[in-house]
Amino acid sequence: AAMAAAVGAFSLREVLGAFRACVSERREVLMGPYLSGWRELIRFLHSLGTIFSFITKDAVAKVQIMEGYSRGEQQERYSSLQSMVEYELANGLVDVQKRGGHPESGCRTILRLHRALRWLQLFLEGLRTAGEDARTATICTDSYNASLAAYHPWVVRKAATVAFCTLPSRNAFLEVM
């Protein structure tokens, strides 16, 4: 119950609705609903506690970068993933080969959000399908290893694995959802 209170109005239904609304009839990924889905997921991340604040802060920062682009001078260029990629590539705003002068390009930012989204997807699916006695730390670690771990240095991977050991039980998560 304490965990549910910490989350506030987190709704898995709203997350799913927002991400489903991302894809337009023209098969474009719309930025508005994508960011709405992330804002709702951030509520969930807050429920994981202070040990996960580094992940939550990173997600918040990336969503804010994308919201800035979506409201900025070139907002029409950032209405969909496709228009953003086209615009940034055409204008040399993305460092494709290596990290360079555009560390906060929309393309790099969305890539990182999407990697984190994959981890959350695997984690939530693992919680849903796991048995009663499954350890949340194991589910989270397996999800992390299958998604984000490849992009993090050793020290971050070790810190994450230790942090996962502090997660509440599977039933505590299911209560929230």
Q: Average pLDDT of 8-12?
A: 70
Sign of CA dihedral 83, 85, 86, 89: positive
Please give the average per-residue pLDDT across 160-170, as a whole number.
Answer: 87
Q: Is 21 exposed, middle or buried (0-12, 13-18, 19+ CB in 10 A)?
A: middle
* 29 phi/psi in degrees, rounded to 5: -95, 110
Q: Kindly indicate the confidence band of residue 7, based on its pLDDT and cuts at 50, 70 and 90.
A: very low
Distance CA 59, CA 68 (A): 14
pLDDT band at 4 (very low <50, low <70, confident <90, very high): very low
* pLDDT tens per residue, range 33-54: 999 999 999 988 887 777 677 7
- In this predicted model, which residue has the larger pLDDT, 142 or 175? 142
User: Degrees (nearest 5) of the Cα angle 162, 1, 136?
Assistant: 30
- Name the average pLDDT for the chain: 86
Structural domains of the chain sorted by starting position, each given as residue range(s) with its CATH number in brackets: 2-176 (1.10.3520.10)
Whole-angstrom Cα distance, residue 128 to residue 57?
26
